[in-house]
Amino acid sequence: MSKNAIIAGLAAFVIAALFPFWFNLGGTDAAPEPELSAKAKAAGKCVLDKYDMRANHMSLLDEWRDAVVRDADRKYDAANGKQFQMSLSTGEDSCLGCHEDKEKFCDKCHTYASVDPYCWECHTTPKEINQ
């Protein structure tokens, strides 16, 4: 009696636990490539190299925000010799100053990876304001 119930329960658990695998059976979409704006292409170099940025941009932003808000430091001299305004969304040499199109740059991967950073609850994009 209880044996059957236990086996049924275990089976249900295994199926539920493997949800991500069977849900995505039949192929998933390929990872999207973020589109660089003309300005970003022309600049050539970002704060860190491409792969480092991809992996660590969130920790960099975290570091920047503490530097700006708490230490009043706003200028960033990157290891590669370039200078930046430590800001996500304000000014020419901020992140969005160069990567002008948030939808094509940020959102592409964020949407694919199902991450929903709350940056945009406060930080504005030029496009959004003009809408």
Partner 1 sequence: MKKSRRSFLKAAGVSALGIGVAPAIQAVASSGSTPAALAAKTKHPEALTAHRWGMVIDTSKITDEVAENIVHACRKAHNVPDLNHEPDPEKYPKTRPVNHNQEVKWIWEEHFESAFPDKEDEFLAERFKELPFLVTCNHCKNAPCVQACPTQATFKREDGIVLMDFHRCIGCRFCMAACPFGSRSFNFRDPRPFIEEINPDFPTRSKGVVEKCNLCAERLAKGLQPACADVSEGAIVVGDLEDPNSEVRELLNEKYSIRRKQELGTEPSVYYIM
Is 77 a binding residue for partner 1 by CB under 8 A? The answer is yes
Is 74 a binding residue for partner 1 by CB under 8 A? The answer is yes
Choose the stretch contacting partner 1; rule: CB under 8 A; options: 15-23, 34-42, 47-55, 108-116: 47-55
The H or E element that residue 50 is part of is helix 50-71
Please give the span between the terminal C-alpha atoms of the chain, in angstroms, as a whole number.
64
- Distance from C-alpha of 117 to C-alpha of 80, rounded to nearest angstrom: 27
Which residues, 90 to 109, sit near partner 1 by CB under 8 A? 90-91
Judged by CB under 8 A, the residue of 3, 4, 44, 70 near partner 1 is 70
Which residues, 13 to 32, sit near partner 1 by CB under 8 A? none
Is 76 a binding residue for partner 1 by CB under 8 A? The answer is yes
> Per-residue string for binding with partner 1, 110-129, x by CB under 8 A?
--------x--xxxx-x-xx
Distances in Å between the alpha carbon of 37 and those of 11, 41, 97, 107?
50, 6, 10, 14
Is 131 a binding residue for partner 1 by CB under 8 A? The answer is yes
The H or E element that residue 130 is part of is helix 126-130
- Residue 88, classified by CB atoms within 10 Å of its CB into exposed (0-12), middle (13-18) or buried (19+), is buried
Nearest CA among 107, 128, 122, 98 for reference residue 32: 107
Residues at the site binding partner 1, with contacts judged by CB under 8 A? 47-49, 52, 56, 59-60, 63, 65, 67, 69-80, 86, 89-91, 118, 121-124, 126, 128-129, 131
